Chains A and B, each alone.
Chain A
Amino acid sequence: MGTNHKTIEATLTAYIREECLSRNGQTELTDETDLFEAGIVDSAGLLSFIGFIETEYGITVPDEDLLPENFVTIARIAEYISAHRQVQPA
């Protein structure tokens, strides 16, 4: 589970770097960066990001879950994904 969680964080970080940040920029981005305060993700960007998460992890994010506690940092998002992913049959 631990490595799995790290893999999710790495995938999310790669998405943000690719889609939300300038190619040659050096914006600091850690798992705990507040994506909204840092201006990296906003209302429009969040929905594209969620579309990516839904496709990538096969989950559906209902409107009522679009909350800061779920989506404000990469760490929180990874936790949300881990908690909502369907358990794969062994």
Chain B
Amino acid sequence: MTSVRKCLIWDLDNTLWDGVCLEGNVRVRPEVVHSITELDRRGILQSIASRGDADLARQALEQDDLAKFFLAPQINWLPKSKSIVRICRELRLSCDAVAFIDDDRFEREQVSYMLPGVLTLDAHCAPELPGLADFTPAENTPEARDRRRLYQMALEGSRAEADFASRDDFLAACRMRLTVRPMAEPDIPRVRELMTRTHQLNTTGLTIGSSDLEKIFHEPSDEPRVMVAELRDRFGEYGIIGVAIAESARPVWTLTSFAVSCRVMGRGIERAFLASLVRAAYSRGYTHSEAAYRETGRNRMMRALYQMMGFRMSGRSADPDTLLFRARSEEVRPVPKWVEVE
């Protein structure tokens, strides 16, 4: 179980800067700037939950060129636990994946009480954040360095939806293209990272190390065992957002591990990826498809996905905690019409 947090949520007054914004001049703490830029470089997302006037705070952040670092900032008069829930919803993160830093003990206690999964930190810790294990991912991939921009893109996408007459029109206008291909050696760090970071859309919750991935990659096999999915749409490129590991013995194709980034949740990408894998297997003679699922307490969505796609529970694997789902390959629901797969 990794303890690395995906997002750090900042209080502003007397935490990010000295002073109270509504009362006049504030001065950003220089040591805080270093922590913000370093966490950003590591792919830790950052946001704001602060009380006060949103316009004034934004101006102050822009003066120091810091506004760009924060996604879905919440500057309002709501309880901070509410702001944190909003941030998690917008970024599609679980509350267990975020940390919150504030100088006010009452605020920290209130957040811990309402949202026990959130890691709370005293503002004194701000200069030491880069040294904490909670903000030190095992690997630093190109996707990680670009993560803020990728999330920004996804946020713009969901906001753009308001301009379209129907959900179909909106999804089609996004021009989503999913490239499904065998994993290549340089993909290994990103694939490992994806499996480690993904909890809600991960069928087994099992973490596979780089060396295991390399082993699978180099094992002689008739067919590639690890497939990856890359997404792009009219807002830009998202890189590798899905990974599937399969084992197969004709006529049954078995998906042993399947994970999709929560960043692209809510637009049918997991369905498109699964459907295209099954379709490709079917064309190679696998009349039946099987998929493993191990309940982790957070991945019920994946069981729902299998069942809604046409799989039915068929038994348990050698590991009694792992359920197997099966379908006739040709009966699995197709790729959603708004996603183009290549």
Contacts and interface: CB of A to CB of B under 8 A. Distances in A.
Interface string A21-35: 111111110000000
Contacts of A26: 165-166
Interface size class of B (residues with CB under 8 A): 20 to 34
Given A22-B167, A67-B308, A43 B313 contact: no
B1 interface: no
Interface of A: 20-28, 36-40, 42-47, 63-64, 66-68, 71-72
B336 A43 contact: no
Interface string B294-336: 0000001111110110100100000000000000000001001
A23 B300 CA distance: 29
A42 B176 CA distance: 16
Contacts of B303: 63, 66
A44 B265 contact: yes
Contacts of A27: 165-168
Given A25-B164, A66-B303, A68-B307, 13 more contacts: A20-B167, A22-B162, A25-B161, A25-B167, A36-B271, A39-B267, A42-B270, A43-B201, A43-B302, A43-B308, A44-B266, A44-B301, A67-B307
Those 5 A-B pairs whose CB atoms lie nearest each other, nearest first? A27-B166, A66-B304, A43-B301, A43-B305, A27-B167
A44 B165 contact: no
Contacts of B307: 64, 66-68
Contacts of A43: 201, 265, 270-271, 301-302, 304-305, 308
A27 to B, nearest CB: 4
Interface of B: 92, 161-162, 164-168, 170-171, 200-201, 265-268, 270-271, 300-305, 307-308, 310, 313, 333, 336-338
Give the residue among A24, A25, A28 with the most B Cβ atoms within 10 A: A25
Q: Which of A28, A45, A66 has the most CB of B within 10 A?
A: A66
Contacts of B271: 36, 42-43
26 contacts: A22-B162, A22-B167, A25-B161, A25-B166, A25-B170, A28-B166, A36-B336, A38-B167, A39-B167, A42-B266, A42-B267, A43-B201, A43-B302, A44-B92, A44-B200, A44-B266, A45-B266, A46-B301, A46-B308, A47-B300, A64-B313, A66-B304, A67-B308, A68-B307, A68-B310, A71-B308
B162 A40 contact: no
A40 B338 CA distance: 12
Contacts of A63: 300, 303-304
Contact of B304 (A24, A39, A46): A46
A41 to B, nearest CB: 9
B294 to A, nearest CB: 13
A3 to B, nearest CB: 29
A79 to B, nearest CB: 17
Given A42-B267, A42-B271, A47 B166 contact: no
A69 B129 CA distance: 50
Contacts of B171: 39
Contacts of A21: 167
